[in-house]
Chain A
Amino acid sequence: KQEVTQIPAALSVPEGENLVLNCSFTDSAIYNLQWFRQDPGKGLTSLLLIQSSQREQTSGRLNASLDKSSGRSTLYIAASQPGDSATYLCAVELYKLSFGAGTTVTVRA
C-alpha cells in the first residue's frame, strides 16, 4: 500500500523567504506526482504535475522536483508572499491517487 508523508505538518516564514516543502512516498512505481494547494474550507487546486519520466516542473515562482528512486519530491516556492499561505498537498498516482496529509504554510507580512 502506497504511503505518502509530508513533513513538516506546518510551517511559518516571514515574507520574502523561500519555502521548501517535502513529500516522500514508499512505492517508487508511480505514474506521476502532483502538488495541490488548498485554501481553508475550499477544494484543491492543482499546481504542478510531474510525470514519472521527468525530474522537475516549473510554473512561475514554483518549482517541483522528483526523485523517484528515493521516493521524494520537493516543492520550492521562491520569494514567498502572504497570498501563498495555504495547505499544500502532494499526491502520487499509480492506479489511483494517494495523498499526503499536507503542509500548512503561513507567510507573515
Chain B
Amino acid sequence: SQTIHQWPATLVQPVGSPLSLECTVEGTSNPNLYWYRQAAGRGLQLLFYSVGIGQISSEVPQNLSASRPQDRQFILSSKKLLLSDSGFYLCAWDSHSSGANVLTFGAGSRLTVL
C-alpha cells in the first residue's frame, strides 16, 4: 500500500533562517507531488507541484522554493524565512493515471517563524 511521510511535524525557526521540509512517498512510482499551505480560516493554497524528477511548477510567487531530487521525494525550502511564512504545510500525491485521482495527504508540518 502507498504511504506518505512528511517531516518535521513541528518546527520553530527565527526570521532569516533557512528552511527544509521533506516529503517522501512509498509504494508507488512516478507520482504527482504537491506542496500546499493552509492558513487559519482559509482554504488550502497550492504552492508547488511536480509531475516528475526535476520538474517543478510554482503557483504563487513567494519566498519559498521546491525541489524533487528523486522520484518519490519532494522538498520545500527557503533561504531566509519571513514571519509570513508561518503556517501549516501539507504534502500530497496522486497518480498520473487517467480518470479521477484521489489526493492523499501527509500529516502536515507546522512552521512557526518568530
Q: Are B102 and A46 in contact (CB under 8 A)?
A: yes
Q: Are A9 and B49 in contact (CB under 8 A)?
A: no
Q: Are B105 and A43 in contact (CB under 8 A)?
A: yes
Q: Which of A32, A42, A93, A101 contacts B42 (CB 8 A)?
A: A101
Interface SS of A by simple majority: strand
Q: Are B108 and A43 in contact (CB under 8 A)?
A: yes
Give the contact-size bracket for chain B: 20 to 34
Residue interface mask A55-71, B partner, CB < 8 A = 1: 00000000000000000
Q: Nearest B residue to A42 by beta-carbon distance?
A: B107
* Chain B residues within 8 Å of A34, by CB: 102-103
Q: Judge if B19 is at the interface, Cβ distance under 8 Å.
A: no
A10 and B44 alpha carbons, distance in the complex (Å): 17
Q: Judge if B65 is at the interface, Cβ distance under 8 Å.
A: no
Q: Which chain B residues have a beta carbon within 8 Å of chain A's beta carbons? A: 6, 41-44, 46, 49, 59, 88, 90, 92, 99-100, 102-108, 110
Q: Are B100 and A31 in contact (CB under 8 A)?
A: yes
Q: Which of A32, A42, A89 contacts B108 (CB 8 A)?
A: A42
Q: Are A100 and B43 in contact (CB under 8 A)?
A: yes
Q: Are A99 and B110 in contact (CB under 8 A)?
A: no
Q: Are B102 and A44 in contact (CB under 8 A)?
A: no
Q: Judge if A98 is at the interface, Cβ distance under 8 Å.
A: yes
* Chain B residues within 8 Å of A98, by CB: 43
Q: Which of B41, B49, B90, B110 contacts A44 (CB 8 A)?
A: B90
